[in-house]
Amino acid sequence: MPDIESLLKEKRVFKPDPAFTKNANWNKKTVAEYRKLGAKNPERFWAKMAKEHLTWFTPWKKTLQWKPPFAKWFVGGKLNVSYNCLDRHLEGEGAWRKNKAAIIWEGEPGDTRVITYAELHREVCKFANVLKGQGVKKGDRVVLYMPMVPELAIAMLACTRIGAPHSIVFGGFSADALRDRIDDVGAKIVITADGGYRKGAPFPLKKAVDDALANHEVVDRVVVVRRTGQDVSMVEGRDQWWHELMADASPKCAPAKLDAEHPLFILYTSGSTGKPKGILHTTGGYLTQVVTTTKAIFDLKDSDVYWCTADIGWITGHSYVIYGPLACGATTLMYEGVPVHPGPDRWWSLIAKWGVTVFYTAPTAIRTFIRLGDEHPKKHDLSSLRLLGSVGEPINPEAWIWYHKIIGGKKCPIVDTWWQTETGGVMITPLPGAVDTKPGSATLPFPGIDAEVYTEEGDPTKPPGGGLLVVRKPWPGMLRGIWGDPQRFKEQYWSQYKDTYFAGDGAHRDKQGYFWIMGRIDDVMNISGHRIGTMEVESALVSHSSVAEAAVVGRPDDITGTAIVAFVSPTGGTDAGDELKQTLRAHVSKEIGAIARPAEIRFTDALPKTRSGKIMRRLLRDIASGKESKGDTSTLEDFSVLAKLRESDET
């Protein structure tokens, strides 16, 4: 969590360049008008956006049906996501886009593919037919566990074409995590690849699918993309090659006319319990919010080359690598590998090579590049850039200024966008032609979004002041539920305050009403912009036979924002050596994935607890970050535990 005192000392203000404003998709006048409409009548604002930016087969009858906490947007309306992302760019007024690049793809080894809208449409129709041929029907869930290759985009869009909700599992998750998600979502089929490229070498994926599906009763079909050519074992009768199925598939497939509330996808994210939640998004409202925000915030024009660096396995990739940009008819760049292969300038060379104009990335990446040195971006011509974005965690002013100067050449507006897996699309953000920016602030809510800062008692705070971030009115991209668990949905997001969405973040507003997001206030950590629950890591640790008890906290880290620290009491006593620490780190990787591997493990024979047995994480956080705890310890059961824990980092 950034130190709000130091954030608020940030006084620099950057005004939109008049030349930018003049050409902006949304200028000051538009923004003022939309803010007014959005505040007075958010439903009318969103209905206007839905009509303007999307093509509907059947118009809706009612814009919003709100039975808290359950919302239905555009009730009775029918549309198709793949139609909006593809077909309408091939016909009528959009027809000139037929041969425009929809996806520019570059693999880590340097191989490239440029896929036009017409070609993407053809491939999507073919794969939709492949899915049908495998028995996938409207409503069936399809799990995608893939590297960053065009086939992932094709598979997603094919799912939307036939109304089969997808659930993408990030390729960095382990076989165990994959199996949990396959089971929870009740998948019928898994689409994967032999592997992908990372850090200069192929990594395997199919093997994890085999492990996840060992003795699996429901999933009897697997489709495998050949990406690396590495050896894989194909299970007779279950596994089939993508290219073989595609060879015979027809390129004609009519888009299903789907209800606006038809499930579009389920994406798992961490919460404050050990079990990840399947966040459900639906068709019409989600697409309305992502297309509108993409157009307005990234100011996308037909001439842009847009690059969002997120992996499609996270929500940012769903909304702003694929659905938002393609619904806008834009050119979206996809890059397979790590930012620093074969050298620390790979990203900058990609920007120069493809002439990227709009670039959207995460603060953790920016901080990594600051550390690597300015000479790497300076080697390349980045003058094509005209707008920069940031997402995933609060951006510290130092990183903001570096991004502005070194990457943006002092001429690009920066949009710091706050949102969540649950919100579907951006919620708090500058509009680049209209809003003054301040380094470290996500500025103001998007028109039609009623974000507020509440006291713990549920009273709105008056700026300046801090509290808990909430959204008071439903918005079109909001999650519709947690897959299979309506009770948890209610408790998690709607029990703190009546009929008001509780985001789980702390926020401060300055005198001007600008939002400064302070980070999670629950037991959720933000590691490099990715959400990991402390309980998830704890349950992974205690599942190991050498662990009696474990408590996990985050400590501030210069690069990743937060680093995971685990306090573990080993069954065999605290004399257990480094070997056990290595074993446990590997164990967490196996249970969840490398992203959840603790940066540090400390052995202890007791954890600080309250009299009722609750672990006092606040104290552990202080200890992990080397701070003297100034907090209240009056409910602590055994004071000697604290002293011992402080010593534990020397072992």
Residue type, 344: P
Q: What are phi and psi of 491, to 5 degrees?
A: -65, -45
Least separation in angstroms between residue 362's CB and ligand WT7 is 8
Q: Does 391 bind ligand WT7 (CB under 6 A)?
A: yes
Q: What are phi and psi of 256, to 5 degrees?
A: -65, 140
Q: Does 173 bind ligand WT7 (CB under 6 A)?
A: no
Crossing angle for the helix pair 175-185 and 578-591, to the nearest 10 degrees? 30
Picking from 39, 19, 128, 49, the residue whose alpha carbon sits closest to that of residue 447 is 39
Q: Number of C-alpha atoms within 13 angstroms, CB side, residue 160?
A: 32
Q: Does 421 bind ligand WT7 (CB under 6 A)?
A: yes
Least separation in angstroms between residue 123's CB and ligand WT7 is 28
Q: Does 228 bind ligand WT7 (CB under 6 A)?
A: no
The stretch near ligand WT7 (CB under 6 A) out of 168-176, 411-419, 540-548, 572-580 is 411-419
Choose between 165 and 504: whose C-beta lies nearer to ligand WT7: 504
CA dist 202 and 552 (Å) reads: 32
Ranked by CB distance to ligand WT7, the top (closest) residue is 421
List 53, 531, 585, 621, residue binding ligand WT7 (CB under 6 A)? 531
Pair 241, 205: CB distance under 8 Å = no
Location of structure tokens 């499609």: 312
CA dist 248 and 250 (Å) reads: 7
Least separation in angstroms between residue 423's CB and ligand WT7 is 7
- In 605-642, which positions are buried (b, 16+ CB within 10 angstroms) versus exposed (e)? ebbbbeeeeebbbebbbbbbeeeebeeeeeebeeeebb
CB atoms within 10 A of CB 414: 20
Q: Does 430 bind ligand WT7 (CB under 6 A)?
A: no
CA dist 224 and 206 (Å) reads: 8
List 196, 255, 337, 394, residue binding ligand WT7 (CB under 6 A)? 394
List 388, 442, 566, 576, residue binding ligand WT7 (CB under 6 A)? 442
Q: Does 517 bind ligand WT7 (CB under 6 A)?
A: yes
Least separation in angstroms between residue 45's CB and ligand WT7 is 22
For residues 281-340, which are near ligand WT7 according to CB under 6 A?
A: 315-316
Q: Does 419 bind ligand WT7 (CB under 6 A)?
A: yes
Least separation in angstroms between residue 37's CB and ligand WT7 is 25
Least separation in angstroms between residue 340's CB and ligand WT7 is 21
For residues 466-505, which are near ligand WT7 according to CB under 6 A?
A: 503-505
CA dist 368 and 497 (Å) reads: 38
* Per-residue mark of binding to ligand WT7, 251-270 (x: CB under 6 A): ------------------x-
Apex 105 CA angle, 256 and 305, nearest 5: 90
The stretch near ligand WT7 (CB under 6 A) out of 196-204, 367-375, 412-420, 443-451 is 412-420
Q: Does 519 bind ligand WT7 (CB under 6 A)?
A: yes
Residues forming contacts to ligand WT7 in the complex (CB under 6 A) are 269, 315-316, 391-394, 416-421, 442, 503-505, 517, 519-520, 526, 529-531
